[in-house]
Amino acid sequence: MPELGARLAALALRPERPRFVLDCGRRRLDLGRTRLMGIVNVTPDSFFDGGRFFSPGLAVEQALRLAREGADIIDVGGESTRPGAGGAPAREEWRRVAPVIAGIRERSDVLVSIDTTKAEVARAALDAGADIVNDISGMTFDPAMRRLAARRGAAVVLMHIRGRPRTMQRRPAYRNVVEEILDRLCALAAAARAAGVAENRILIDPGIGFGKTPEHNLEILRRLEDFHSLGMPILVGVSRKSVVGAALGLGAQDRLEGSLAAAVLAARAGAHVLRVHDVEATRRAVCMAEAVWRGLSRNP
């Protein structure tokens, strides 16, 4: 793997960061400006909104509301991946998300992402109209996921995680957290390409909160620009997470302002997609920040 210093030197030589267009199969998403992925957890136990949208009808209405507020992608998940979560069988996971994806597709053309590590669930979701597979394992938990993504032409989010949700927060340790994550994401992307996933279908995610301490997470955010050295678009998910709670001493219900601050900082560092619970507030905060550093003519 190339050394971090060489990556950063190559980045410094570029006149500007590359502009990406994500191929999502039936559509393409221009990542020339910060895009928002709205979270819809159809679960009883997710850390922030578990149980709030467990009813398919409520989940569909929430998805449509987030789309109206400015979400470019709706991320639908049927299995909690919070620290300590034990998971759900594929059949149950699909039972939860199937009517939600169908309901969104009946009423909206918004891009839909399926948040799953199981190829069986991803396959059914793509059949039902999903456009993106968001896999917290980087397509490693299920060996069939890479082949599925390649065969179906799906866009994929490759996230970094150490361990599995049940055990990932048991004393996570790194020698150099950013360099080790960069190396791992580079390897995950190479494996995806080797399986046939086109490069313009890949997003990378450093995995805030997945096998990291609050200090690790803050270091990732502080050095987010380093991830441009991989030459792939970056997705960041900080919304309502424990790193915000650790910094502010607040529970998940009171972490909106901290989440907005982190979102603005990530956008300033060049994050292409922000995965958030609070779409309208995040859109306004990022648009205001972009008006400052880019000017009103560049503001959507």
Given 240, 241, 255, 283, which residue is catalytic? 241
Reply yes or no on whether 105 is catalytic. no
More confident residue, 150 or 43: 150
Alpha helices, DSSP H, located in the chain: 4-13, 56-69, 90-107, 119-127, 144-152, 177-194, 214-222, 242-248, 256-268, 279-294
Domain boundaries, the chain: 35-293
The yes-or-no verdict on residue 299 having pLDDT over 60 is no
**Range with the lowest mean pLDDT among 44-53, 179-188, 219-228?**
44-53
Q: Is 263 helix (H, G, I), strand (E, B) or coil?
A: helix
pLDDT at position 298, please? 53
pLDDT at 11 over 60: no
Q: What pLDDT band is residue 88 in, cutting at 50, 70 and 90?
A: confident
Q: 35-293 has which CATH code?
A: 3.20.20.20
Write down the catalytic residue from 96, 184, 201, 275.
275
Q: How many CA atoms lie within 13 A of 290 on its CB side?
A: 21
Q: 0.75 cut: is pTM over it?
A: yes
Block residue for tokens 């972009």: 290
Instruction: Decide if 283 is catalytic.
Output: no
What confidence score (pLDDT) does residue 54 get?
72
Determine contact, residues 237/277, Cβ cutoff 8 Å: no
Find all residues with CB under 8 Å of 277, minimum gap 6, and list them. 38, 39, 48, 49, 239, 240, 259
Q: How confident is the model at residue 46, as a pLDDT?
A: 64
pLDDT exceeds cutoff 50 at 14? no
Q: Is the pLDDT of residue 201 over 70?
A: yes
